[in-house]
Amino acid sequence: MRAFAPFTREILKIDTHAHFFPTIGKEEAESFMFAKPPWLNINGDDSAMMMDGDTEYRLVQSPLWDPVDRLKEMDDNEIDVQIISPTPLLFSYTSDPKNVARWSARINDFGAASCEANPQRLYSLCQVPLQDIDQARVEVSRSMAAGHVGVHLGTHVNGRNFDDPEMIRFLHYCATEGIPVLIHPWDMMAPERMPKYMLQWLVGMPAETHLSILSLILSGAFERLPTDLKVCFAHGGGSFAMLLGRLDNAWHRHELVRQDCPRPPSEYVERFSVDSAVFDDKTLRFLLDVMGDTRVMMGSDYPFPLGEIHPGEMIKNSELIDDATKQTVLCDNAANFFGITND
Ligand SMILES: [Zn+2]
């Protein structure tokens, strides 16, 4: 177990939702033999274009791939620790799992190497070829042995939700091996209806995350999974908290909703965590009331377009959250979840 650096700030800030992208160029990406591999087209001026095959995906800056620049920006933002995870574009769940196993290993090795720039401040999550659970298990265990502190998964694999027996088998493996899981929306539903206005981020992502949580609750998956499974959903759990009353109401009134789920959905809230990326003080207060103080941890979605510009500032400056809860959300919950310590 690695320890934090001995910081002097009153409350440490751990950002659990921050992404990286490896310096993989076009030629190397294509050597992994699957269609439209993502890669990074570095411009030489500290910026780069994230590429999705031949399509320009997003203009990004050097902290995304350079850990030294990342640490400088963390200093500017007063972020003590980041848990870095692969950019979801890299998941590659639709391609041949053998190739994606090699690809994931390359990405994960880059993530682990990035943390060596300051092992007390940077911790990494790995990705896995989730379309093949046997290979996913091999890669997650290899990565954990190499120093990763958990695994980063998409909300579905090619339309299969987390109630799929193979997905549950992977979560079961993570539980028995003590591997924390962060679930992030990707490959959003109904993109043809959301071509403009960032609707895939504003509607698709919260809906994806909500669906992912409900697939675990209503299928009874949480009844079959060990209670010590550590699973966290990004973006405050998407639409879940606001719709929990609707969900409980439906469970009480319709056999169709409760047929595989023996307890009211609100009783499963204690089985998972969410990050704090909701961007509004009152919403965060509500999220804490629904989830409980120990199941919300700071996450900013750094450094992407809808990430918190000054990570952790909203929590720190909130007048709706007491100091003890700020400590819990900014630091303690993440330290417990990922098994890192400042002792
Ligand atoms: Zn993200």
CATH of the domain at 296: 3.20.20.140
Question: Which amino acid makes up residue 339?
Answer: G
Domain annotation covers residue 31? no
Distance CA 230, CA 259 (A): 25
User: What pLDDT sits at residue 33?
Assistant: 83
**Distance, CA 202 to ligand 1 centroid (Å)?**
13
* Ligand 1 centroid distance, CA of 297 (Å): 14
Query: What is the 111 CA–ligand 1 centroid distance (Å)?
Result: 15
In a domain, 221, yes or no: yes
In a domain, 123, yes or no: yes
Q: What pLDDT sits at residue 34?
A: 84
Token pair 């009153």 in the structure block, residue: 10
Give me the phi and psi of 125, to 5 degrees please.
Answer: -105, 150
Residue 59 placed within a domain: no
Q: Is the residue at 60 inside a domain?
A: no
Q: How far is the CA of 230 from the centre of ligand 1 (A)?
A: 18
pLDDT at 225: 98
DSSP 330: I
Query: How many angstroms separate the alpha carbon of residue 19 from the centre of ligand 1?
Result: 6
Question: Nearest to residue 182, comparing CAs of 118, 124, 225?
Answer: 124
Q: Residue 3 Cα, ligand 1 centroid: separation in angstroms?
A: 25
Cα–Cα distance, 290 to 293 (Å, whole number): 9
Pick from 123, 119, 99, 129: which is nearest to 111 by CA? 123
Task: Name beta bridge partners: 302.
Answer: 18
Distance 126 CA to ligand 1 centre (A): 14
CA 152 to centroid of ligand 1, rounded, Å = 10
Choose among 269, 267, 201, 263: nearest CA to 240. Answer: 269
Residue 260 CA, ligand 1 centroid: distance in Å: 31
Q: In one letter, which amino acid is 50?
A: M
**Count of the separate structural domains present in the chain:** 1
Up-side HSE of residue 218: CA atoms within 13 Å toward CB? Answer: 19
Residues 124 and 83 sit within 8 Å (Cβ to Cβ): yes
Mean pLDDT, consecutive 10-residue segments, the chain of 343 residues? 57 94 96 91 93 95 97 95 97 96 98 97 98 98 98 97 97 98 97 97 97 98 97 98 98 98 98 97 97 98 88 93 96 96 68
Q: Report CA(17)–ligand 1 centroid distance (Å).
A: 6
Residue 229 belongs to a domain: yes
Note whether residue 68 is domain-resident.
no
Alpha carbon of 186 to ligand 1 centroid (Å) = 9
Tell me how far the alpha carbon of residue 228 lies from the centroid of ligand 1, in angstroms. 25
* 316 CA → ligand 1 middle, Å: 21
- Picking from 174, 131, 184, 176, the residue whose alpha carbon sits closest to that of residue 153 is 184
Structural domain for 274, as ranges = 97-337
Interval between CA 244 and ligand 1 midpoint (Å)? 23
The answer to the question of residue 21 being in a domain is no
184 CA distance to ligand 1 centroid (A)? 7
Cα distance between residue 83 and residue 194, in whole Å? 30
